[in-house]
Structure 1
Amino acid sequence: MGAFPEDFYNKGINLRKKKEVPLLKDYAIDLTTGEILLDENKNAIIVEGLDAVIVQAWRKIHTKKLDPFAKEGYLIYSKNFGSQFHKLIGKGKDYGDTYAYQMLVDCLVNGTYITGISNFSTKLEKSCYKINYTLESIYGSKEDSFYIDID
């Protein structure tokens, strides 16, 4: 045995044990309307893992993030919940291309379940600004897209 205990140089690492992340669960929703899906007994269907990440991402993208200084708010969401894509309405593709990626990252990436956004691209189809991306999570990746009517 040497002059130092075996874990002398790893002491800091041992003190900072990783916190275990609980399995993410949420209610299944129709990804077109946002309505909760029910089973044959009229009970809400529960999804886990990547499916729950997708549900939460859909909710965040389709919920307008409120002004932090506004007096109104959502009873079930924090002031940080939601997106700012409503700010793209009335703007052109160049404006959207400048800000949409950061808006998506700010909306979704939390470092716990959603770790990043990749394969980001945009397209203007008539008055609809289409955002395509790959959602990166601790459960895997999922390609997704959504439209914003900018007129």
Structure 2
Amino acid sequence: MRRDYFSVDIHDTDRGEVGEDGEPSRPTIDIAFDGPAAALDDRLAEAHEDRSSPTIDVACRLLGPVDGPADGVIGVTDRHTGDFLLEANADSEAVLEFVRAAREYGKRTDGTDRYRVRVTRGNADVMVQDKSTFLVYNDEGNLVRRHSLIPSGVEL
């Protein structure tokens, strides 16, 4: 599926922000899809069932130096099947700020999930999952641990 079918909006990254309920706001990656509906549905469904949250991984590959201005590509994959579900262009500075906010959110709440990823088509949610791991890779394909969300006890 083409990247230009997707747009990314990263929000709730203000680390002091609270929601209407007084709880910290969960950092969220919204990925909007505007391509052929069947293409997205086929990617996000496995044997006519929604893919479960534990099998979905979200990561970002930076397209330039970690400490310089560059774009990145957010990828969503299924770790059990190896299926590549989608990728979308994203601003690397926004992604790195998102990771910092998600890390802070995890410190301020009792839950294990650090952020939410939402894929939409039109006004409808196609996939909404709360996640704890977000891996960031540099432009050479190496994991950048200091900019990634890796829960304690997880070995990569």
Smaller-chain TM-score bracket: under 0.3
Q: Higher strand proportion, which one? A: 2
Higher relative contact order (CA 8 A, sep 6+): 2
Report the TM-score, using the length of structure 2 for normalisation: 0.26
Bigger Rg, which one: 1
